[in-house]
Amino acid sequence: MDYLCFKLNSEPLAVDVLDILEIIIPEKALHIGIDYSRGVIDYKGLSVPLVNHFDRDVPVSDKRKPGRVIICSCENKTIGLIIDSAEEILRVGPDEITPAGAGDIAAEHIDGYLVTDDRRIPILSLKKIGALISAG
C-alpha cells in the first residue's frame, strides 16, 4: 500500500495515494472560514470544498495561500485538502499500519497510523472528513 506523506501546520500526515486525483498549487489566496470547510476551489469546472484544518480550536486567517491542495475522491465526493507541503510516498505493508485507539484524541479524523522505523504518522480518513463537510 502506498501513502502520500505531507505536512500540515508542521505535523506529518498521510493519505492513501489511491484516493488522490491530483496535487495542485493554487494560483491565488483561498477564502476559507474557521470551521472544517467553508471555502471552495474551482477544479476543472467543479466547485470542490476545501478542508482547511482538522481542529476547530486552531485559528486560521480568512485568506491563506497554501503550499498545495490535494484533490481527493471519497465516496463519489471530491474534496480539497489544504496542506503546507507534500513530502514523500511511503510503501508500507499491512503490518506497518496500526488502528486508531478508541481514546485517541485524533480518532475523529484518522483511520490509523503508519508505523515505520521511528515514525508514527496519522492516516487521514477521507470518509470521516467527508462526513464532517456534509454535516457542516
Model confidence at 68, pLDDT cuts 50, 70, 90, reads confident
Q: What is the pTM of this model?
A: 0.80
Residues 81-112: pLDDT tens digits?
A: 888 889 999 999 999 999 887 556 567 788 89
CA angle 117, 118, 120 (to 5 degrees): 100
What DSSP state is assigned to residue 115?
Answer: E
Q: Helix or strand or coil: residue 130? A: helix
Higher pLDDT, 111 or 75: 111
Burial classification of residue 6, based on how many CB atoms lie within 10 Å of its CB (0-12 exposed, 13-18 middle, 19 or more buried): buried
Q: Are 14 and 68 in contact (CB under 8 A)?
A: no
d(Cα 53, Cα 43) in Å, to the nearest integer?
A: 20
Quick one: how many helices (H) and strands (E) in the chain? 1, 13
d(Cα 108, Cα 113) in Å, to the nearest integer?
A: 13
d(Cα 33, Cα 111) in Å, to the nearest integer?
A: 25
Residue count (the chain): 136
pLDDT at 38: 55
Q: Are 108 and 100 in contact (CB under 8 A)?
A: no
CA 109 to chain centre: 9
Residues 4-51: pLDDT tens digits?
A: 999 987 889 999 999 999 999 877 655 555 455 557 888 888 888 888
Q: Helix or strand or coil: residue 1? A: coil
